[in-house]
Structure 1
Amino acid sequence: MIKLERYLVIIVLLLGELLPLSGQVKSIGLPKIINYKKADYNGGAQNWEVGQDKNGNLYFANTSGLIQFNGTSWSKNVIPNTTVRSLKVANDGRIYVGGYNEFGFFNVSSSGKLVYNSLSKLVNPNSKKIIDFVWKVHIVDDAVFFQTFYRTYIYKDNRLTILEAPNRFQFSFLVNNKLYFQDIVLGLVEYNNGRLIPLANTKTLNNTEVWGIVPMANDTMLIVTLDKGLFLYNNGMLSPWQCDANNFIRKNNSLGGRLLNSKFIVLNSVLDGIIICDTNGRIVQHINNRKGLQNNTALSSYTDVSGNLWLGLDNGIGYINENSPFTFLGSSFELSSVYSSAEYQNNLYVATNQGVFSHAWNTPFKEESFKFIQGSTGQAWAIQEIDGTLFCSHNRGLFTIVNGKAGNFLDDRKGYLGLKKIPGKPNYLIASNYHGFAIIEKTPAGWKFRNQIEGFNVSDSKFATDGNNVWLLKNSVYKLKLSDDLKRFTLTTTYENLDKSLKGINSIQQINNKIYFQSANHFFTHNQATDKFIEDKTLSAIFSKIPKIKYCFEDNKGNICYFFGDSSMGMLMRQQDGSYQNVLSPFASLAGNLVYFFESVNTIDSSNIFIGITEGLVHYNPQLHSGITTQPKAFIRSFTFAGDTLITGNLPTLKNVSIPYKDNNVKFTFSSPMYDNPENIKFSYKLEGFDDKWSNWTNVPVKEYTNLHEGNYRMLLKVINSYGKESKPAVVTFTVAPPFYRHPLAYIFYILVVAFAIYYVRRRVKIKIRQNRYYETLEQRRLYLEKETRIRQEQYELEKEIERLRNEQLKVKILTKDKELVNNSLQVVKKNKMLNGIIHRLKDIDSETLDETAKARFTKLYKTIDKELNTDKSWNNLEKHISNVHFDFLKRLKDKYPTITPREMDLSTYLLMNMSTKEIAEIMNISDGGVELARYRLRKKLNLPRKENLTGFLMGI
């Protein structure tokens, strides 16, 4: 009996090893879990059932209505009484739903919107009030069954018939296209052409609720009850299913289950999430709240077309990425950031930032199943097996792990980063630590710290050695020559570039037992004899079509792991013929999660590869790639214009749409039914007729165009998933009609208007020409008369000007003569003065003393002079002429100074003529002092300052 149990254990373990190769559910780690809260989908908490249409859109029977999810956005559609408890998606696209006192179907309208059509209105009004909740909807052939507790409504050929419950229905199930009901008295019954046939030996289920029936091999059915566990039914016999899954369900209650990928069974629980078991009842995965599921009560479960699992939860929606080669061992396994891992003596060891953990390799990986290695607390940088010994490079030093326990530190004076064998020296290891490099020696008592290498105190975890030299990259490449006694570096050589055409050196790695130096994906080896780098064309050619890497290394199976960008990786999987297959796309989902600079890949075998990430450990099975190779689909989800929206993602085909020019602002939304890594879905679009090239890849699922010109357009959309797979373009064609003023009819109207305008203008031009000729004649006549009048006027003005000039000339002549007369008069005055002087002198002569002749002559001369003086009127004429010559001056003077006297005016005139005081005294017949007094009085009347010249002032008037 003991031997039999051992054999059974071995068989179970072998099955555990083979299961990952034969199905998609992995026993190591947990799949990726995405939780959607009710705030995400804007609905109620409970989700009772899940379905999917041909386009990949998902539907959820939610307490607030029918929820639709297209991978990018959520939408809600309501029915009367709101709650939706059941749904089924038909092949023709109809979505049949049931709620409270209501059932019917959603159909896609011509605009792509889901429109609800009620079928409950076909129920007799007298019985409608007892419809109650429609708990299940089934589609069997061309009939739709809406099941309530008391009856089932059958919709076929647009008619509704009623199937009454023998006593009271509990729930119903469709298994292999056969419909089963649970009656609370008869047990399980099968529906057959309108009849209900009881299944033998199932009345024992009446003391519980059957929540699920799952088909299994050999016509066996797995019956899932609420609180009595799991039962197998075959050939009329009902028996409990004695297995781990049954123990779990009896403890936590169940709300049904379903097949997963034909090899596994999903069982929903009330208290502790879900379990996935194989067909033998062995639990492969257990997913609950502690492992990332947001709620422990799973009301429903559904497998989508990609083989991934959807959970309708009591509070929210859960997505479990079962169809993936990756599973995760994170916080639920007590792991944090993983820097290194190694399989040693049937145990998996993991170096983390908290210390070292281990797990038995042949034991199922369950939560909290990793064991902490006592004495390893702190930052563990690397864990490596070398020559049968497991070394741990730790922040506190270097130690070995023996029998699952941390041994003594070989060196605890400094932190260690990693170890490497020294070629040609099997008893020595070289280790990088915080102060440079050290030598570890193998002794009969085990490995021991030998010495710190002097001469260089900088190191790194990524170094290489060829036995005589240590190669280290720190901005530049250093070649450190080791002394024969391994105690010092005797020579240090620095290299900046590998080739003149390549700048800098990116990494140092050891591949196929050779040290390679890499720059821009070009790989070089070093020639010791010439001290030059030689490119390996073969290896460079392998990396020529790979993204520019920053580092790579070879694992223990000959695969080359490479890292690029900020935190992305790929693998060159070595084939049996020595070639490499580039595997890049699966690792895209890990981008950004790798531990920067301490990237770790541990290949145990072809099905088990462990990758360290910031949140734990990733298990990668390269054999599982079926879902990744599927080409994604792109959908132009909606097309919005003029306040109207076409939900194009729901329509099988879309004819060309014409929109008016005034509504030439359009908006598109995009979607793709890919649910494993929605954050990595990217779209690229191109509007033919507007864009010249495809847009850059973007996560934004919306694009809007404004002010489009009239014409024909084709909106093209591509999507790329997280694995680098690109979809075929989705297309929506539409036409922007021209504005009314650019419509073809408008151009015909424009032609007619132009023709009429030409005719009208020509006619008007002819009339205008005739009018212009008439008016031109009149105008010429008018201009002639105006010219003649103007000539006459000019002639008249000329005559007047001539007359004026003549008058002025005459005045000038008169004035000139007056001036001459003034001058002559002044001469005469002077002459008379002279004669007066002669007379006065003659009076002084005594004529008595003269003889008679002389006396007679003397008397005659005297009389002649006296006569001349008496008859001369020059003085009067002088005053008259002076007044005439200076008439304007005297007038201005009188106007400016009205109080001036004629005498003062005469004085002013004489002063203006620049006469001397003596001349003025003679003319005015006053003394010189009298002239000065008169001048003084004139200045006072004119208000002249003492310093201003009187004559100059008068000349300025």
Structure 2
Amino acid sequence: MKRISPFLTYTLTLGFVATILLFPCFRGMAQSALSGIPFTRNFLPVEYHAGIQNWFITQNRQGLVYIANNFGLLEFDGDHWQVYGVKNGTKVRSVAIDSRGRIYVGGQGDFGYFFPNERGQLSYVSLADSLDRKFRNFDEAWSVYLDNDLVYFCTFSNIYVYNQRTFTIVQSAHGIDHSFLVNRQLYVNQPSSGLGTLEGSVIRLIKGGDFYKGKSIAGILPLHDNHLLVATFYEGIYRYSEGISQPWREDLQAFLKGSIVNCITRLRNGNFAIGTQNNGLLVLDAEGNLLMQLGSGRGIESPTVLSIYEDDLNNLWVGQNNGLAYVELGSPFTFINKQTGLPGSGYSAYLHKTKLYLGTNTGVYVRDKNDKADFKLIDNTRGQVYHIGEYGNNIMIGHHNGATSVQGASAARLSYEPGSWVFQSLKDHPAQLIEGVYAGLQVYDFVNGQWKFRKKLKGFGESSRVMAQDPSGDLWVTHGYKGAYKIKFSPSLDSIQQVKFYGADKGFPSNLLINVFKVRNELLFTSTTGVYKYDAKTDRFIPDDFFTPRLGKNDQVWFIREDAMGNIYFISRDHIGVFRKNALGEYILEENVFNKIRKYLNDDLISIAILQNNEVLFGAKDGFIHYDPAMKVNRTPIFQTLIRTVGTSNNGDSTLFFGNHSVHDSITDKQQPDFKPELPYASNSIDFTFAATSYEGNADLTYQYYLENYEKGWSEWSSKTLKEYTNLKEGNYIFHVHARNVNGEVSREATYAFTILPPWYRSVWAYSIYGISVIALLFTGFNLLDRKYQREQKLLEQKQQEELSQKDTELEMLSQQSQEEITRLQNEKLESELQHMNNELATSTMHLLNKNEFITGVKNQLAHILKKNNHEEIKKELTQITRNIEQNISADADWEHFQFHFDRVHGDFTNRFKASFPTLSPQEIKLSAYLRMNLSSKEIAQLLNISVRGVEISRYRLRKKIQLDRNKNLQDFILNF
């Protein structure tokens, strides 16, 4: 019988409906009876851009996920999806990865492997093309199995055993349905004969194997003591041992038959995961008890599961008929929300015996943990719920409409005062209960096993959402934006005796966001910053000694709750986690595992509920998040940061690296030195894409990166998976990147080294050419300079000669000028002296003239007197005076003085003139001198003491003696002599 895939069967809708009706108890269970739906991340075809069906899933050492998809081999690195097609572009049905990283695939009419080329891009190599033509024509290679170096390619006609060099072909005369490798033994189901094993190159029927004749097997798993678990598509699941096959769980057979089992796998914790055609994903324990069912609208998107793969974190990759899902089975957190019948935001929770009560903004819901059904709404509780608690064996509800008490499947109103926040029992009043409402406090009495409303207390009208009683019996009520109040009641609780306010003036940082919690048997108060406790001695609030040293003074704590083991759960602005108490009484902070739930938590009226078995419920925006502390998280995951592509963008996109390093025939994590690219300077703009193989918590990954030799340190954490660098200078660079996952774990860094070559004008060849050119230019330049130097030397010598000649000429001229200057100066000196002598001569002449004129005047006056006076003696005396005057006028002393100066001025004129004309008398010499001085006749007459007429006669005589021509002027002659 030819095998036709049952995965395409969609005709059992009616059977599916009947199955759900017959087995409602199988829905909604996980490891803990109180847990909900595991965290699930769904991927639709529009997101991964490939075919809708995903047939097989596996993972390599780097954490990359590979899926056999309708469109080819689908790869997921945590951020990017990539499809690699096989040669003929057909569907890929199976995939397996060996220790070297080689990815073997089987598909329609072909099988082979993918391995990275020199640029790191996966390339497909068809092994089927190497077969003889008579074995090449086959239909589907549904399975690929690895056994050390052997690879089994299982088709519906033959089994091809590849030993890395050659093929061994195993043929079956009865046809092949499916094959399964179990403990290195290949089991082969032949529809016409039954289940057998491959021994050498022959398929031999196992003992009792004919039981499976005509049955289509979906999976075979090993059990203890050589037992096998054989899952069939349509006939349920059987336990095989010693040739006998029996139903694994008789009570489940009908359900499994209606579900149609597509695949089955054994989980590391011993449980089984089953993928069905109609009922989604089933998780069963080792005994076959159904623990959990996920299907359409309940964790995963499709009721048809085609493949299952468990990763190293015990989480499941689920291949579906229309997409993929990542189911965090290994996480201690699950959702209790509308998928489990609980709509609305979670505000309060309480576990009473086996019943779990949950309060949301839509009402109170209940489910018995042993019932396994969805949550049901309790009648008369619809609306906003603030609090659920047990008081005097009564389940009390703080409701927007007023206090309510649960009565079986319904609830009864206890008070019509709107806005019931919370209830507080008092240690000295076990029969009374205090209720905080929107506007004040109310008192209830316990009568005949039921709480009865007594009265609303006067004297305090503030909203009382948070309250706690201290050891002294006082009630503390905190207000969100006013402060804290300490309230004293009367002994009978009929009235409020005292209300005392505490705010910023009493030690709080402000009056805002003050809450009170009872932790470690003491009251702790929180505010905008810090945690405080009340000091009765000073009547003030002081920082507490537990949270303050551990979280600091500036953190804002929003909620605190302590479990029965002393573990303290808290939510603050900067942290969320638990201070876990060990056997020594020490507290160890555990917070990373809680990071993944922060974004889901309710940001209005935050709540943490501790259930009786120390499981925890966190109020969420959509229902609650259940935390099971008994589930220990495996924190040794495959978590690596990978550089997925490296490209240049200067001249259009060009990918240098496609994400896979290899050495010889193996994939490796590190770049090999031989594959360090050297890029031309024109390609100096580089972009990197990267991802990290951490898939938990919706993969809220952040990255840090830096480029060595370009940046000084790591960047800030960012969710970006692309980094671009532009206009890099030439040099050697190493790109570093690492990731941090939602749990705060940091991966190993990934690196990629590359070199930017200098531009052609700064290359070695260019510098060589530059060097040669410079040498040539220097040689030419030196030669030209030498020639120029020779020419300039000659010109310089000529110039120097000319300059020397010019200098000599200048010196001669300078000497001549100096001599002329000396002569000029001497002349000037002589002229000055001559001028001085002229001045003296003129002075002397004027002196003589004045003297003679004066004396002549005196003589004339005396002569006049002599004429008028007749007295002889007087005449005689006057005559004697006149003679003396005449002698004085004619004295030679004045002449000698005059002559001395005159000769100095006129070049020794008198001696020269006398020498030329020796016959001249002294009187004529004087006349000649006076004529040379260009004196007038009158002035000469005064000097010679003669009349003017006498001067004229003397001039005439002088002309004759010197024999001067009559036509010549005497005075001119004398002036020019």
TM-score tier after normalising by the smaller chain length:
0.7 to 0.9
2:625 alignment partner in structure 1: 618
- Per-residue deviation at 1:473? 3.3
**SS of structure 2 residue aligned to 1:91:** coil
2:406 alignment partner in structure 1: 401
Q: Are 2:510 and 2:527, in contact at CA under 8 Å, matched by a contact in 1?
A: yes
> Which of 189, 192, 201 matches 2:196?
189
1:80 alignment partner in structure 2: 87
Q: Are 2:641 and 2:749, in contact at CA under 8 Å, matched by a contact in 1?
A: yes
Aligned amino acid, residue 195 of structure 2: L
1:654 aligns with 2:671: yes
1:644 alignment partner in structure 2: 655
1:414 alignment partner in structure 2: 418
Q: Are 1:150 and 1:169, in contact at CA under 8 Å, matched by a contact in 2?
A: yes
1:513 alignment partner in structure 2: 521
1:378 aligns with 2:383: yes
Change in 2 beyond 3 A, CA 1:520/1:598: closer
- Per-residue deviation at 1:503? 9.8
Aligned amino acid, residue 663 of structure 1: S
Once the two structures are superposed, residues 105-163 of structure 1 have per-residue CA deviations (whole angstroms, 9 ceiling, x without a partner) of 111222221111111112222442x3111111122232212122111222224212211
Equivalent residues, number: 758
> Which of 569, 575, 588 matches 1:561?
569
Aligned amino acid, residue 441 of structure 1: D
Question: 1:479, 1:571 → 2: CA distance?
Answer: 29
2:334 alignment partner in structure 1: 327
1:701 alignment partner in structure 2: 721
2:260 alignment partner in structure 1: 253
Question: 2:430, 2:57 → 1: CA distance?
Answer: 62
- Per-residue deviation at 1:602? 2.1
**SS of structure 2 residue aligned to 1:599:** coil
Change in 2 beyond 3 A, CA 1:547/1:139: farther
1:726 aligns with 2:741: no
Question: 2:39, 2:465 → 1: CA distance?
Answer: 31
2:44 alignment partner in structure 1: 37
Once structures 1 and 2 are overlaid, which stretch shifts more, 457-466 or 546-555? 546-555
> TM-score, with normalisation over the residues of structure 2?
0.73
> Which of 479, 484, 498 matches 1:478?
484
Once the two structures are superposed, residues 567-592 of structure 1 have per-residue CA deviations (whole angstroms, 9 ceiling, x without a partner) of x7322223343332222112111112
Question: 1:243, 1:186 → 2: CA distance?
Answer: 25
Once structures 1 and 2 are overlaid, which stretch shifts more, 66-75 or 108-117? 108-117
1:314 alignment partner in structure 2: 321
> Which of 100, 113, 123 matches 2:108?
100
**SS of structure 2 residue aligned to 1:542:** helix
Gaps of 5+ in 1: 1-15, 782-957
Kindly report which structure 2 residues correspond to 1:271-670, keeping only aligned pairs within 5 A, or say none. 271-336=278-343, 337-363=345-371, 365-366=372-373, 369-406=374-411, 408-444=412-448, 446-466=450-470, 467-484=473-490, 485-488=493-496, 490-496=498-504, 499=507, 507-519=515-527, 522-544=530-552, 548-565=556-573, 569-605=576-612, 608-628=615-635, 630=637, 632-641=639-648, 643-651=654-662, 652=668, 653-656=670-673, 657-660=676-679, 661-670=681-690
- Per-residue deviation at 1:441? 3.0
- Per-residue deviation at 1:699? 1.4
Question: 1:126, 1:741 → 2: CA distance?
Answer: 62
Q: Are 1:498 and 1:504, in contact at CA under 8 Å, matched by a contact in 2?
A: no
Once the two structures are superposed, residues 298-317 of structure 1 have per-residue CA deviations (whole angstroms, 9 ceiling, x without a partner) of 12222223221112212211
2:919 alignment partner in structure 1: none
Q: Are 1:87 and 1:136, in contact at CA under 8 Å, matched by a contact in 2?
A: yes
Question: 1:146, 1:271 → 2: CA distance?
Answer: 29
Q: Are 2:564 and 2:614, in contact at CA under 8 Å, matched by a contact in 1?
A: no
Q: Are 2:529 and 2:556, in contact at CA under 8 Å, matched by a contact in 1?
A: yes
Once the two structures are superposed, residues 671-717 of structure 1 have per-residue CA deviations (whole angstroms, 9 ceiling, x without a partner) of 22112224411111122212222111111111111111222222222
Question: 1:287, 1:25 → 2: CA distance?
Answer: 16
Question: 1:528, 1:426 → 2: CA distance?
Answer: 26
- Per-residue deviation at 1:350? 0.6
Aligned amino acid, residue 267 of structure 2: L
1:226 alignment partner in structure 2: 233
Question: 1:26, 1:101 → 2: CA distance?
Answer: 47
Question: 1:628, 1:127 → 2: CA distance?
Answer: 47
**SS of structure 1 residue aligned to 2:445:** strand
Once structures 1 and 2 are overlaid, which stretch shifts more, 383-392 or 56-65? 383-392
Question: 1:506, 1:637 → 2: CA distance?
Answer: 49
Question: 2:269, 2:341 → 1: CA distance?
Answer: 32
Question: 1:714, 1:552 → 2: CA distance?
Answer: 47
Once the two structures are superposed, residues 43-101 of structure 1 have per-residue CA deviations (whole angstroms, 9 ceiling, x without a partner) of 11111111111111111111111111111111111112321112211111111111222
Change in 2 beyond 3 A, CA 1:377/1:343: same
Question: 2:702, 2:379 → 1: CA distance?
Answer: 46
Aligned amino acid, residue 123 of structure 1: L
Once structures 1 and 2 are overlaid, which stretch shifts more, 227-236 or 598-607? 598-607
Q: Are 1:71 and 1:678, in contact at CA under 8 Å, matched by a contact in 2?
A: no
Question: 1:669, 1:262 → 2: CA distance?
Answer: 36
Kindly report which structure 2 residues correspond to 1:510-909, keeping only aligned pairs within 5 A, or say none. 510-519=518-527, 522-544=530-552, 548-565=556-573, 569-605=576-612, 608-628=615-635, 630=637, 632-641=639-648, 643-651=654-662, 652=668, 653-656=670-673, 657-660=676-679, 661-768=681-788
Once the two structures are superposed, residues 886-913 of structure 1 have per-residue CA deviations (whole angstroms, 9 ceiling, x without a partner) of xxxxxxxxxxxxxxxxxxxxxxxxxxxx
Once the two structures are superposed, residues 502-550 of structure 1 have per-residue CA deviations (whole angstroms, 9 ceiling, x without a partner) of 9977543222232223357643322334322233334422333996433
Once the two structures are superposed, residues 412-431 of structure 1 have per-residue CA deviations (whole angstroms, 9 ceiling, x without a partner) of 23121112233433333322
Identity of aligned residues (%): 26
**SS of structure 2 residue aligned to 1:218:** helix
Once structures 1 and 2 are overlaid, which stretch shifts more, 571-580 or 289-298? 571-580
**SS of structure 1 residue aligned to 2:331:** coil
**SS of structure 2 residue aligned to 1:397:** coil
RMSD of equivalent CA atoms: 3.0
> Which of 205, 210, 214 matches 1:198?
205
Change in 2 beyond 3 A, CA 1:515/1:396: same
Question: 1:764, 1:443 → 2: CA distance?
Answer: 124
Gaps of 5+ in 2: 1-25, 663-667, 803-977
Aligned amino acid, residue 404 of structure 2: F
Question: 1:650, 1:37 → 2: CA distance?
Answer: 30
Change in 2 beyond 3 A, CA 1:480/1:317: same
- Per-residue deviation at 1:437? 2.3
Question: 1:659, 1:379 → 2: CA distance?
Answer: 66
> TM-score, with normalisation over the residues of structure 1?
0.74
Question: 1:650, 1:313 → 2: CA distance?
Answer: 31
- Per-residue deviation at 1:339? 0.7
- Per-residue deviation at 1:245? 3.8
Question: 1:533, 1:502 → 2: CA distance?
Answer: 12
Q: Are 1:72 and 1:678, in contact at CA under 8 Å, matched by a contact in 2?
A: no
Change in 2 beyond 3 A, CA 1:552/1:726: same
Once the two structures are superposed, residues 280-337 of structure 1 have per-residue CA deviations (whole angstroms, 9 ceiling, x without a partner) of 1111111111313211111222222322111221221122111111122221211022
- Per-residue deviation at 1:768? 4.0
Q: Are 1:113 and 1:650, in contact at CA under 8 Å, matched by a contact in 2?
A: no
**SS of structure 2 residue aligned to 1:170:** coil
Question: 1:666, 1:497 → 2: CA distance?
Answer: 60
1:111 aligns with 2:128: no
- Per-residue deviation at 1:439? 2.4
